[in-house]
Structure 1
Amino acid sequence: MKVTSEDFLYYFKQVVEVMETERDYLCELDRKLGDGDHGVTMTIGWRAVNEKLNNELANETDLGKISSVVGMTFLNAVGSSVGPLYASGFINGAKIVKGKSEVNDAELTEYWLAFINGIKDRGKAQVGDKTIIDTIDPAAKALETSFTQSQDFLSAFNDAVLAGEKGMKSTKDLISKIGRSSRLGERSRGVQDPGATSAYMILETFLKVVKVKNS
């Protein structure tokens, strides 16, 4: 399949809407583990991205520039630890698609693997720490394995999102080991991690966009 710069711009717009819709839910999760502001933080970051989508990026066709501007804009708008994580992801992904106005299955796979690796390299957390990594690491492994076998991005990314969902849900049973919530110890068990949840939403939204495009 071919995914264009226009598709990516539409995708990022959809993420803006998802974060607005899910803001209170993400805050509710975070109230049980931290400051209770994760939903607000995500909407602040994505509203800033939306401004760029409506202005500077409105007619942009270079996928590399789109992805890097999204990453830097999110970083500049968000002061919390999540800012550098997503900035690293989108800027790392931008290197794969620099100068391209459309990408094929293999390039899409490389883009999302680079996105996830960028976050992992920045965050230094491990699977089981009850963080964003519990969603994105299994998603990356499923994407790579599935695409190697099928050479079909849509089916591989579907597998990735399913693996990410399983990882996200697994955080309910984990004790937080990193960040403010780690101070809760055993009390952090029983609540789904908000960062793992918003990361899943970002992946799931892309899957929905490419499914519609391919239908």
Structure 2
Amino acid sequence: MSKATNITWHDVSVKKNDRRAQNGHGSCVLWFTGLSGSGKSTIANAVSSELFKQGINEYVLDGDNIRHGLNRDLGFSEDDRTENIRRIGEVAKLFVDSGKIVTTAFISPFHNDRDEVRSLFEAGEFIEVFVDCPIETCEDRDPKQLYAKARRGEIKDFTGIDSPYEIPQNPEIVIQSQLLTVEEAVQQIFGYLREHFII
């Protein structure tokens, strides 16, 4: 619910489909979700790099990077996580409207939050990519030493340790990152994008 009053939506002269036609490809959000250390950011950036090489308009929204700026006022309570995802959903929608393929890498642990973001988009524009990786593997990788800190009690409400991760029920794509190379994961995603005529 908006707190603002006396505002009116202003229609723009250049529409989403105009930008898609000029670009020669569709636009969508690839919403990467999974535990910390599952490979979300690595795969999202690899997809973005390959899109760029092919001349496709793209952008990456990464969880940590967004918390350095737009969402630096948010912590990791359940309410703050929900607001974090809400804001990112709105930003992702702007990128899709601009004709880009935007990849987002956020743990986004709760069903309701992901469903709320999905509801912002037209059919086929929100592609949920579940990076499925056992927590044991994520802990073994632990590139930021976050699991170790959480186990020592230095980080509270850490997803997978003392805060839940709700596994996606019907994701468009499942990447089993402990079984695939990054290149294989990228090819799986590109296969989906081609099959659905986005690229």
Q: Do the structures match in fold with TM over 0.5?
A: no
- Which is helix-richer, 1 or 2? 1
Larger Rg: 2
Relative to the length of structure 2, the TM-score reads 0.36
Instruction: Tell me: higher relative CO, structure 1 or 2? Use CA pairs within 8 A at least 6 residues apart.
Output: 2
